[in-house]
Amino acid sequence: MSVPAVFDYHPVQSVDEAIALLQLYGDEAKILAGGHSLLPAMKLRLTQPEHLIDIGPIPNLAYIRKEKDAIVLGTLTRYKQIEQSEILHKYYPILPEGTALIGDQQVRNRGTIGGSVAHSDPAGDMPGIVLALKAQLVVQGANGTRTIAADDFFVDTFLTALEQDEIVTAIRLPLPAPHTGSAYAKISNKASHYAIAGCAAVLTINKKGLCTSASIAITGASTRIIRASEVEAALISKKLDDATITSASSHAVANADLISDIHGSAEYRQQMAAVITRRVIMHALERA
Amino acid sequence: MATKRSITITVNGQQHQSEIEPRMLLVHYLREILDLTGTHIGCNTSQCGACVVLLNGEAVKACTVLAMQAHGCEITTIEGLAPAGELHPIQTGFWEKHGLQCGFCTPGMIMSSYQLLKDNPHPTEDEICKGLEGNICRCTGYQNIVRAVQDAAEHMSTETSIPVSTQN
């Protein structure tokens, strides 16, 4: 298919306007942000919304700013802005680093962090990174604004904790504790650049060189976006030497429902997840 | 049939107004409504880059943008890169360095190179490869494409300004 199925198009100027339309059209409506996940899916007729609500025209939703206790990204912040953000390079290099691996420059000119998070594609990079960063997702709906912890947000493939009438408006990242390092890397499909197996790691080390906090998320390998809790448990309170990291990384997808397809068998993904997790932890540690 | 929408769009400096189906993709609008067939359709899955145009100066894959998303925006296509009868230094680079064989990918390559050189006027070979990762060529093996971009970078750095034409 070269074009999406027929739909009515609703460009909106405010979040309230978008929410009113979501209430009106319910399941028949989809939110359009950058469109680089939704439009390909619509062209393949994997989804056929009857109403497309384009939040692109809403002003002031694309920003990256440092607040007192968090770094906040507006939902329409495009990947290119993230890639070039000095604030993020300073506090959380994992984000510009991971973003630079998404698709290509044309995709990064259009794709948005809020769109990727709300799309909840386990092969995407942003959901895993946001999860490892313990982000709080600010969502707005008919009943007002609430925040959802990333841990509770990603429910399953293309499924989030968002209610039908809710929109992600911002992503809040808690400021890193001293001696925190973060990194992301993936083994990806050569054409689409989607992750076959990727890892996002955020580590904090104390003065004695012991790991006091480890947040590890796996992308690409599993049918849903997951924290690698067994890896985290194997790192906490330990001195992160080579043997500890290698051993911990072998559990990267221990609790995952692995994908097996033409891009990689489950066995391949399992092995690659361990390899990439080890590399990413090493890299995050260097930055801590 | 969905409700048609009115679109106003500036393409290569010229304003157009049309009534279109919302599902019309930007690439189809450019090719079928405006007859600007220099923008090609290759994979139609936002992978090959044959359809790259500039949207408000940024390279995008026109097969993955609704025409309506470009409402009120400025588009530059390969036809608008240089004044009629002239070549932009990137086009000259592809000409001089034989940066093409069949030429199908070339308009997209050139528009992506435009963005690449705008962001980074003196790219290394690796940076050129990274910048063009969203454009697929099935003929050249890419060496001459990289040389073409290097040639363009050299010539553009010696010129005071590289205007994107608004004349056509």
Q: What is residue A176's DSSP assignment? A: P
Domain A180-287, CATH: 3.30.390.50
| Lowest-confidence pick of A150-164, A253-267, B150-164 | B150-164
Output the CA angle A44-B131-B143, nearest 5 degrees: 105
Q: What is residue B11's DSSP assignment? A: E
pLDDT tens-place string over residues A65-100: 999 999 999 999 999 999 999 999 999 999 999 999
CB contact under 8 A, B134 and A104: yes
Q: Which of A3, A8, A54 sits opposite B69 (nearest CB)?
A: A54
Output the CA angle B47-B65-A190, nearest 5 degrees: 15
DSSP class per residue in B138-161: SSS-SHHHHHHHHHHHHHHHHSS-
**Which chain B residues are within 8 Å of A191, Cβ to Cβ?**
47, 136
Percent of chain B scoring above 70 in pLDDT: 93
CB contact under 8 A, A107 and B52: no
ipTM over 0.90: yes
CB contact under 8 A, B61 and A107: yes
A201, pLDDT greater than 90: yes
Cβ atoms of A214 and A231 closer than 8 Å: yes
Domain A64-174, CATH: 3.30.465.10
Percent of chain B scoring above 90 in pLDDT: 89
Which run of H or E residues covers position B110? helix B106-119
Burial of A275: CB neighbours in 10 Å, binned 0-12, 13-18, 19+: middle
Q: What does the alpha-carbon distance between residue A222 and residue A231 come to, in Å, rounded to a whole number?
A: 15
Q: Check residue A29 and give its pLDDT.
A: 97
Q: Check residue B158 and give its pLDDT.
A: 81
CB contact under 8 A, B58 and A11: no
Q: How far is CA B96 from CA B82, B136, B148, in A?
A: 17, 20, 7
Average pLDDT over all residues of chain A: 96
pLDDT tens-place string over residues B78-110: 999 999 999 999 999 999 999 999 999 999 999
**Which chain A residues are within 8 Å of B66, Cβ to Cβ?**
9, 32, 35, 39, 54
CB contact under 8 A, A103 and B134: yes
Q: Check residue B166 and give its pLDDT.
A: 45
Domains of chain B are: 5-80 (3.10.20.30), 89-158 (1.10.150.120)
Q: Check residue B141 and give its pLDDT.
A: 85
Q: Check residue A46 and give its pLDDT.
A: 92
Q: Which of A52, A80, A106 sits opposite B49 (nearest CB)?
A: A106
Instruction: Name the one residue in this structure whose structure tokens are 């480890």.
Output: A214
Please give the average per-residue pLDDT across A23-27, as a whole number.
96
| Lowest-confidence pick of A190-194, A227-231, B96-100 | A190-194
Q: What does the alpha-carbon distance between residue B45 and residue B48 come to, in Å, rounded to a whole number?
A: 8
Q: Check residue B3 and give its pLDDT.
A: 87
Name the region of B161 (left: φ>0; alpha: ψ -120 to 50; beta: rest). Answer: beta
Q: Check residue A24 and give its pLDDT.
A: 97
Q: What does the alpha-carbon distance between residue A44 and residue A26 come to, in Å, rounded to a whole number?
A: 22
Please give the average per-residue pLDDT across B58-65, as a whole number.
98
Confidence of residue A150 (pLDDT cuts 50, 70, 90): very high
pLDDT tens-place string over residues B11-52: 999 999 999 999 999 999 999 999 999 999 999 999 999 999
Q: Which fold has domain A8-53?
A: 3.30.43
Q: Which of A5, A40, A106 sits opposite B112 (nearest CB)?
A: A106
The residues spanned by each domain of chain A are 8-53, 64-174, 180-287
Handedness of CA B53, B108, B92, B117 (dihedral sign): positive
Amino acid letter for position A148: I
Within an 8 Å CB–CB cutoff, is residue A110 touching chain B? yes
